[in-house]
Chain A
């Protein structure tokens, strides 16, 4: 049995040059002044005072000329009126290659998951794949450096896949659009065990829209773990794991899912 300590010994201790570089870097960065909150507050206050002074000056000038600044005017067309938070990941803006450029395995993959999302076909590209993201218009496969390997325009419902690099262990992250009809359609064509997890008090009964399903496959390609995230603000997280009898049992259930969880997915 090779133990952790064997690897620690094998990797060895930090060499003196490495430690010296850390010390020198720390000396240099801490010697330079970091913007401190107090200082920033003073800077903001000064800036605000300057803006106010300009505003007062302009207003008094306008008053003296008989007009006044219309600070309640409607925003101009160029001004953003609202910033929407959306859970749907924005796909890569790279141009989509034509379907003819897709590897043959990908065509199989696409054909396969429309009916049976749990069967993923061997694909050479998977070893290079870091993530597949998609929106309603299609899916995009990027490698570790962010380079686009393949993509496909489609009108699918499954929207994000996460792979650990080999096809036999794949976490499927299905981002559901927050439209209940799409979720219902999806659920109707899903296996019974997934329907059983979804159609219960805790999931469908709590009224929050289903945003993600993450299904993790074991070595034989069978799902052994299922996670669901509910609510447009990721308010509720539930996970199940398959026990020895083959039944899914609840593993975790908690509210107020940290936003970091979402950030992790959509970075």
Chain B
């Protein structure tokens, strides 16, 4: 993959990269650090990527790891930046949805985001998260239930 292709493909993925960071990290500065770190790691490891067709799940996997690193750092330092603000009374529906997604258990949040929101297949989601397709299906089911409990409404079309 050439440098130009790399740039093109990263830019093409920007909305997905942003959403992954947005549901993982509350602070804007952390999201920017995570995406920067992920791009740098990806660029450095690019010669080892055997199949260009796997670029998308590969980069997403790297970004998820970069987000985890920042979360770990926050856990060690007990940073308040890592905790999202709960929506105030009368907050918009969008704020409620965002908060519901953010506070979903992490093992459910990423599968829900990648599959239902970003439209990746169960297989692709499984590859990105390093789990089996069955585990993805189970987490999706549980994620939907958890969101429904919190938002008191059905979520996602089947």
Contact = CB atoms under 8 A, between A and B. Distances in A.
Interface of A: 1-4, 6-15, 17-19, 21-23, 25-26, 29-30, 34-37, 40, 144-145, 162, 164-166, 169, 171, 214, 216, 225, 227, 260, 264, 267
**Chain B interface, DSSP helix/strand/loop, else mixed:** helix
Interface string B76-108: 000000000000000001111110010001111
Contacts of A26: 6-7, 10-11, 39
Nearest to B39: A25
Query: Chain B, interface size: which category?
Result: 35 or more
Contacts of A260: 127
Contacts of B96: 10
B55 interface: no
Contacts, number: 139
Contacts of A25: 35-36, 39-40
A211 to B, nearest CB: 14
Interface of B: 3-4, 6-7, 10-11, 14-15, 17-19, 21-23, 28, 31-32, 35-36, 39-40, 43-44, 46-47, 68, 72, 75, 93-98, 101, 105-108, 116-117, 119, 126-127, 130-132, 134-135, 138-139, 141-142, 147, 151, 153-157
Given A2-B154, A11-B23, A14-B14, 18 more contacts: A2-B153, A7-B116, A9-B94, A10-B93, A11-B18, A13-B15, A21-B35, A22-B11, A25-B35, A25-B39, A25-B40, A34-B44, A36-B47, A164-B131, A164-B135, A165-B105, A214-B134, A260-B127
Contact of B28 (A17, A23, A216): A17
B3 A30 contact: yes
A113 B75 CA distance: 34
A174 to B, nearest CB: 13
A264 B135 CA distance: 12
